[in-house]
């Protein structure tokens, strides 16, 4: 491919956005994850200690042994000795992007788009200048009243559109732009039926909107008069700008995000919120342009980071917006790609919270963000009463229907398990609350967790089986060898049974079942007593594999399965004697085993008789 060929606008940025550097570079360098970066041995020198780093968030690599660094394109150029265009063509094939050979019409389109970019940039500079002029007094007072001084105006290129029908048009004409270019850039409006075009933005504070490369492509305008209609006005869709494909502050936010340890960008509802967050130290904030998030905008968010946080007012409108975002996102969830939700106090937005309580309050709110699955659960739980079996069946149907929208099978299955567990826990809490309303007991709000330290109605004080589960948590190999038995075991205490359920469905099981993490998980879901049981149980020494303690544990666990199958046989023997010694466990285990063996022989004999 000739080096003189022009690459379409935005093609290189789109190409790099589609490729994860660790994937491309990892084919030539053996990389190991280290925090937020990948580390390996330099492909350019013969080093023995790794000093080659790849950062997917910043989309760069750096080799400290040779001093070479850059993006995926420069890596391919260096390692394969390709020209820039050759490397782009190679990576475009890999990313499934076609790079068409330009025709004469393409050259004309390129020149036309270049002029539209220049027109938007000239308008932006004009609006910036007018903000600082005498006619921008009211706009300056508005911005200062929102806590934004001259430094913020410059950082965000804020401006003012004069309250005049043709002042912007006349300025752009003086800058050599034609009327059709001004119309095509979205800066003027043509009257229906002909007539003189007029300025689209008049008497408004101006917020420039940029593309992923930072070039101005459109504007948002905030009316200064109380009766301004609409209050916020965006550019119309143009050759450069489609509001459903752009996020306000995206380039600046992505650059700021590369210097954070966050999981994703912050998404708020408007220009002022995004600016307020950036000025308060949350530079990775963006905003859609007055509409619900689109699939294209979700794609932009996930290119920057795997877990963006959507920040909404905590009122009914904010919840509706959060729910719409869930519907949009569900089909596209994948391992390592989800959403979190920051629901602020009712009537508050990020700008309000920061001005009233400071950046630390905003940080606390972000740290309390809820995962998508929690907000989905609350939406379906609160949709209607679930006080009858039929309504409970309806809840389960809605939950499974929502999970069914997820295309990725692994994530879909994980959601089904999690949502069913939440429903089971919630219904248990409702039953406990109803029991707690009996005479002589303090009333509880339905659906709330039991009071801290409260004993379950009808449950023995001794939480039998808890020690077995704690021992398994602290010795995870026990879970591996007895998973099926654990799943079948029947524990008389509901909270102990709940702990077991969480253990066997723990999503991080491949990394080991962690007692403190399970406790925190139970607390987060409101299962206070179950969490306290785990917290208060003493530490247990390690159990050696294939040792006598392991065998004793297995024998003890099997009794909880036998108790359900064999009537009186369980933690207490046939005569009511508590089996609390190795000898009694062995005796009970032997009795249960004999009973099972006899049943198996009878079944086999019956099957043989049928065959004969």
236 or 303, which is more confident?
A: 236
CATH assignment, 103-241:
3.90.980.10
Q: Which residue has the tokens 């509409």?
A: 291
What are the structural domain ranges in the chain?
Answer: 11-95, 103-241, 246-382, 383-436, 466-602
- Residue 508 in this model has a pLDDT that exceeds 70: no
Question: pLDDT tens digit string along 173-220?
Answer: 999 999 999 999 999 999 877 788 999 999 999 999 999 888 999 999
Protein fold of 246-382: Dna Topoisomerase Vi A Subunit; Chain: A, domain 2 (3.40.1360)
Which pLDDT does position 165 carry in this prediction?
94
Mean pLDDT of 89-111: 81
How far is 420 from 506, CA to CA, in rounded Å? 13
pLDDT at 397 > cutoff 90: yes
Tell me the mean pLDDT in the region 475-504.
Answer: 84
Instruction: Report the b/e string of 391-424 with b at 16+ CB within 10 A.
Output: ebebbbebbeebbeebeeeebbebbbebbbbbbe
For Cα atoms 454, 417, 261, give the angle at the middle one, nearest 5 degrees. 85
Say how many C-beta atoms besides its own lie within 10 A of residue 131's C-beta.
Answer: 22
Q: Provide the angle, in degrees to the nearest 10, between the axes of the packed helices 548-565 and 582-611.
A: 50
Q: What is the pLDDT of residue 487?
A: 80
Cα 72 from Cα 76, distance rounded (Å)? 6
Which residues lie across from 342 on neighbouring strands? 311
> Mean pLDDT over all residues of the chain?
82
Name the pLDDT band for 250 (thresholds 50, 70, 90): very high
Q: How far is Cα 384 from Cα 396, in angstroms, rounded to an integer?
A: 12
The phi, psi pair for 584, rounded to 5°, reads -70, -35
> From 3.40.190.10, 3.20.20.210, 3.30.450.40, 3.90.580.10, which CATH number describes the 11-95 domain?
3.90.580.10
pLDDT tens digits along 51-96: 899 998 888 999 887 778 899 999 998 888 777 888 888 898 888 8
Has residue 458 got a pLDDT over 80? Answer: no
CA-derived radius of gyration, the chain: 32
- Average of pLDDT values for 484-493? 82
Is the pLDDT at 587 greater than 70? The verdict is no
Measure the N-to-C terminal CA separation of the chain; round to a whole number of Å: 80
């Amino acid at each position: 491919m000739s080096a003189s060929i022009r690459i379409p606008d935005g093609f290189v940025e789109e190409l790099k956005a589609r490729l994860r550097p660790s994937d491309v570079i990892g084919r030539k360098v053996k990389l190991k994850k280290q925090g937020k970066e990948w580390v390996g041995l330099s492909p350019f020198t013969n080093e023995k200690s790794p000093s080659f780093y790849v950062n997917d968030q910043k989309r760069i690599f750096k080799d400290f042994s040779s001093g070479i660094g850059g993006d995926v394109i420069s890596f391919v150029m260096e390692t394969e000795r390709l020209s820039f265009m050759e490397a782009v063509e190679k990576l475009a094939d890999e990313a499934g992007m076609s790079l068409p050979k330009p025709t004469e019409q393409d050259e004309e389109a390129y020149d036309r788009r270049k002029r539209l970019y220049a027109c938007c940039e000239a308008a932006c500079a004009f609006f910036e200048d007018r903000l600082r002029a005498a006619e921008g007094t009211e706009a300056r007072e508005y911005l200062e009243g929102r806590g934004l001084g001259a430094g913020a105006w410059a950082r965000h290129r804020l401006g003012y559109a004069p309250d005049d029908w043709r002042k912007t048009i006349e300025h752009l004409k003086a800058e050599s732009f034609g009327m059709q270019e001004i119309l095509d850039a979205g800066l003027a409006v043509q009257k229906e039926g002909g007539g003189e075009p007029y300025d689209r933005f008049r008497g408004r504070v101006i917020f420039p909107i940029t593309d992923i490369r930072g070039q101005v492509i459109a504007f948002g305008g905030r009316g200064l008069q109380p009766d301004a209609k609409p209050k916020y006005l965006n550019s119309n869709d143009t050759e450069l700008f489609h509001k459903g494909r752009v996020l306000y502050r995206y380039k600046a936010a992505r650059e700021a995000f590369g210097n954070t340890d966050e999981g994703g960008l912050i998404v708020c509802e408007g220009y002022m919120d995004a600016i307020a967050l950036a000025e308060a130290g949350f530079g990775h904030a963006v905003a859609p342009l007055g509409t619900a998030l689109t699939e294209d905008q979700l794609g932009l968010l996930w290119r920057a980071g795997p877990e963006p946080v959507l920040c909404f007012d905590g009122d009914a409108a904010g919840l509706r917006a959060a729910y719409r975002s869930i519907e949009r996102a569900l089909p596209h969830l994948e391992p390592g790609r989800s959403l979190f939700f920051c629901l602020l106090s009712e009537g508050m937005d990020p700008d309000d919270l920061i001005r009233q309580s400071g950046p630390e309050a905003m940080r606390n709110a972000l740290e309390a963000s809820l995962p998508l699955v929690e907000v989905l659960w609350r939406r379906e739980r609160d949709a209607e009463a679930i006080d009858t079996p039929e309504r409970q069946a309806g809840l389960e149907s809605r939950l499974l229907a929502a999970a069914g929208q997820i295309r990725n099978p692994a994530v879909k299955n994980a959601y089904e398990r999690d949502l069913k567990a939440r429903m089971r826990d919630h219904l248990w809490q409702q039953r406990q609350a109803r029991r707690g309303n009996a005479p002589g007991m303090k009333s509880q709000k339905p659906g709330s967790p039991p009071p801290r330290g409260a004993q379950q109605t009808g449950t023995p004080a001794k939480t039998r089986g808890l020690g077995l589960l704690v021992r398994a948590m602290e010795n995870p190999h026990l879970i591996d060898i007895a998973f099926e038995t654990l799943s079948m075991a029947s524990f008389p205490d509901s909270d102990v049974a709940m702990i077991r359920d969480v253990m066997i469905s723990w999503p991080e099981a491949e990394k080991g079942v962690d007692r403190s993490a399970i406790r925190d998980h139970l607390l987060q879901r409101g299962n206070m007593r179950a969490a306290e049981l785990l917290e208060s149980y003493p530490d247990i020494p390690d159990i050696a594999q294939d040792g006598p303690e392991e065998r004793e544990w297995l024998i003890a666990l099997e009794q909880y399965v036998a108790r359900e199958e064999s009537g009186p046989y369980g933690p207490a023997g046939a005569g009511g004697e508590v089996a609390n010694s190795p000898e009694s466990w062995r005796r009970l285990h032997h009795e249960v085993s004999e009973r099972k063996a006899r049943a198996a022989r009878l079944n086999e004999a019956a099957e043989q008789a049928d065959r004969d």
